[in-house]
Amino acid sequence: MKEFTYVITDPEGIHARPAGLLVKAAAGFKSDIKIEKDGKAANAKTIFGVMGLGVKKDMEIKVTADGEDEAEAVEALQKFFNENL
């Protein structure tokens, strides 16, 4: 399992547009990908899961990937967060 933490810098947090792009990015990997905030985890491949976390600006999240392409998934998603959120 690979993971990273990230502090959201987008003024609106994880809102609909980046959440949709995140789900699309995560869906491209075979690994099980989760986003965790305050001990609550959600499947990063479902829009309802991602939006349900209610992540706002300056909140820290943890992203984990577990599976055959976990290293590639974490690298790609870390880049996604840096560029979009």
Provide the domain count of the chain: 1
Predicted local distance difference test score (pLDDT) of residue 22: 95
User: Domain with 42 in it: what CATH number?
Assistant: 3.30.1340.10
Stretches where the chain sits below pLDDT 70 are none
What string of DSSP letters covers the chain? -EEEEEE--STT-S-HHHHHHHHHHHHTSSSEEEEEETTEEEETT-HHHHHHT---TT-EEEEEEESTTHHHHHHHHHHHHHHH-
The number of CA neighbours under 13 Å toward the Cβ of 24 is: 7
Q: What is the model's pTM?
A: 0.90
Residues 6+ apart with CB under 8 A from 43: 32, 33, 34, 49
Residue 25's pLDDT is what?
A: 96
Q: Which are the catalytic amino acids?
A: 15
Domain that holds residue 37: 2-84
